[in-house]
Structure 1
Amino acid sequence: MLAPLFFAWLASAAISTKPPKGFVTTKGNQFQLDGKPFAFVGANSYWLPLLTTKDDVDATFKEMQSAGIKVLRTWGFNAINATELPGALSSGLTYYQVWNSSDWTLNDGPQGLQRLDNVVETAGKYGIKVILAFTNNWVGYGGMELYLNWIAGAGNTHDVFYTNQKIIASYQRYVTTIVNRYKNSPNIFAWELMNEARCLGDLPSGPACVPGTELLTKWYKQQSDFIRTLDPHHLITTGGEGHFFKKENIGFWFNGTFVSDYNFNGQAGEDFDLELHLDNIDFGTYVSGPYVPIQFVLIKHYFSTCISRYPQLDTPGSNFSVKDWGLMWMQDHISSANKAGKPVILEEFGVTGLQNKSEIYPAWVQFALDSKHAGCVDDISFGMLGLKESGGNRLIKYADALINGASPNDGLAIYKNQSSIWNVFTTAAKVQSAQSI
């Protein structure tokens, strides 16, 4: 009598591990949705939870749906210092954490997580899945250095975030709050550990985070394993920029000098090949464009600090171009993901200038489509027109603002009235949709 009961229990246990209906899964290097291929064009919109009216959020998702977008990537974080609270209340700024002393308090009210609730709920209304990032490598909108400054104190290097146990506990407390809030929602595509994790940020890195220490890889493993204990079903990814740590010294010649390439030499702290083999990292992420980090000139970029890539590209005597470099960068990540047997998403990319976009984007998108890009094309920086809150003009924070009804633009955003560029992605979305049957 014991054997039948035992086997019945095993069968029940197996059924309970199956993801609920509507949850995205992976099979080899492809995404699936309810057992069918799920290929898509995605969009980045960090500013969407910062909108103050449901009508504008609804209109934005409606526009995304009409463009064929199936996945949205946005911030699951917005933190402020207690001294910023009066200004936030008067301006209507969305905030989820308020830091004071060595701890933070949660804002789950109508100016806090209820706005994120609305984004996640409205996404489902329009058939769009959401990738949520838990914090930012950069100080903008309350990134990881708020944890570092309040808990570890001044004088510490950026990478202390990955090893300080009090900081890790605080980060995990916030992660637990967000995961438990949405872990039963099919509107969530995946959890993202951090936006663009690196050894350095607005603060410099220290000797504990140098090539070969695998500090970031160990942190990725620790946090992805932790999240898996909270949520057995949603996908988990790093949110990294896709830096490699190659044994060979990859670089380029510039003005007669060989330059070791930051994107391949491990200085960023990532090891894309190794990270993809972590048990609870379900797919890889990377970014491409002129603002992916290399060791040249620091640029303040509103909500992050980026390092300009290859200023010597497309100059007299150069033997490679932005377009060609991007194609090579895509192929490197696709090849790595295929070896690991996992999907990969080009989460952010872009070049500035309408002419540059017109010349480069078609080649990049077509390459992604031709290669099947391990399941998806990419995440564009989505621009929205016709926003109505505050008469269409409102300073949000930093230099981010609504101007004449247009959403914030970092120079990479794509708006519907830019028809030649817009059509590149809407056409790609139709191709991807045809593959998702």
Structure 2
Amino acid sequence: MSLHQMTHSFRTQLLKITSRLIYIKAVVKRKNSLSGVRYSEEPAIFAWELMNEPRCSSSSSAPALQAWIAEMAAYIKSLDKRHLVTVGLEGFYGLNTTNKSEVNPGIWAASLGSDFIPNSAISNIDFASVHAYPDSWIPHAGLEEKTSYLSHWVDSHISDGDIALRKPVLFKEVGSSRHVDEKGVFDRDVLLKTVYDKIYESAKKRRAGAFIWQLLVEGVDGYTDKTTIM
């Protein structure tokens, strides 16, 4: 590579980084036009999420994602010391996390560049984030297999939060399709109960919490998907 090409490449990367930081600052420091309160001081904001479900094209990009999380979390903290910061992970374990491959929903999950424990362990990440979509991740499994997988998935991440990370874990998205099995049981009821029973026990110790994906009211049907609760 010539010096000119190296200079051009460096300038391009610098421009991308600068643009990204300008965008973040514009959001975090934005002043609410109605209340006059900046988002960085807004008590109604719970936390900043860096990215929804970050994935890479291959596991070789894992170091780049790890560095990006560290950089972005630190920058947000420099702008806003009031609010929590999380990543937005699905919770997949990467190739470098030993003894966890069996927790993933499939071999494919370790090839996406994200890795729950090292990504969440970054000092400026305040709590770990996890998603759970057994219908999408193991679509051909029966209800019993999905329930067993989901139970193990939740237990593993709560344990990692307690022991490896020493941080709370929030299951930010938990979703399942609503359909009836041959016994007349709603699969979604069974799967959601599996998650919430475990979360309830952990929440007593202030270790974990959970949301659903997603609850909609009448009139916003255009935003629905197969896991929506109406």
TM-score bracket relative to the smaller structure: 0.7 to 0.9
User: TM-score by structure 2 length?
Assistant: 0.77
Q: Which amino acid aligns with 2:101?
A: I
Kindly indicate whether the alpha-carbon contact (under 8 Å) linking 1:214 and 1:271 is maintained by their aligned counterparts in 2: no
| Structure with a larger share of its residues in helix | 2
Pick the structure with more strand per residue.
Answer: 1
2:98 counterpart of 1:247: yes
1:273 aligns with 2:117: yes
Q: Which residue of the partner structure matches residue 412 of structure 1?
A: 227
Q: Aligned pair in 2 of structure 1 residues 260, 240: CA closer, same or farther (>3 Å)? A: closer
The Cα of 1:176 is off from its aligned counterpart by: 0.6
Aligned partner of residue 324 in structure 1, secondary structure: helix
Identity %: 26
**1:18-417 correspondence to structure 2 within 5 Å:** 164-181=13-30, 182-199=39-56, 205=57, 210-211=59-60, 213-245=62-94, 246-248=97-99, 250-251=101-102, 261-263=107-109, 265=110, 267-290=111-134, 308-314=136-142, 321-339=145-163, 340-354=165-179, 355-372=186-203, 374-385=207-218, 387=219, 402=220, 406=221, 408-415=223-230
Contact 1:249 1:260 (8 Å CA) reproduced = no
Higher relative contact order (CA 8 A, sep 6+): 1
Distance 1:212 1:184, change over 3 A: closer
CA offsets per residue over residues 362-393 of structure 1, 9 Å max, x none?
Answer: 222112112227242323411112x3xxxxxx
- Whether the 8 Å CA contact 2:92–2:115 is kept in 1: the answer is yes
SS of aligned partner of 1:222: helix
- Superposed CA offset, 1:284-340 (max 9, x none): 10110136xxxxxxxxxxxxxxxx41233119xxxx611111111111111111121
In 2, distance between residues paired with 1:164 and 1:335?
39
Runs of 4+ residues over 4 Å off in structure 1: none
Aligned residue pairs total 200
Structure 2: gaps (5+ residues): 1-8, 31-38, 180-185
Measure, in 2, the Cα distance between the counterparts of 1:322 and 1:170.
42
Which structure has the greater CA radius of gyration?
1
Unaligned runs of 5+ in 1: 1-151, 153-162, 200-204, 253-258, 292-307, 388-401, 416-437
Give distance in 2, aligned partners of 1:272 and 1:249: 10
1:212 Cα deviation after fit: 7.8
Distance 1:411 1:220 in 2: 30
Contact 1:276–1:337 under 8 Å retained in 2: no
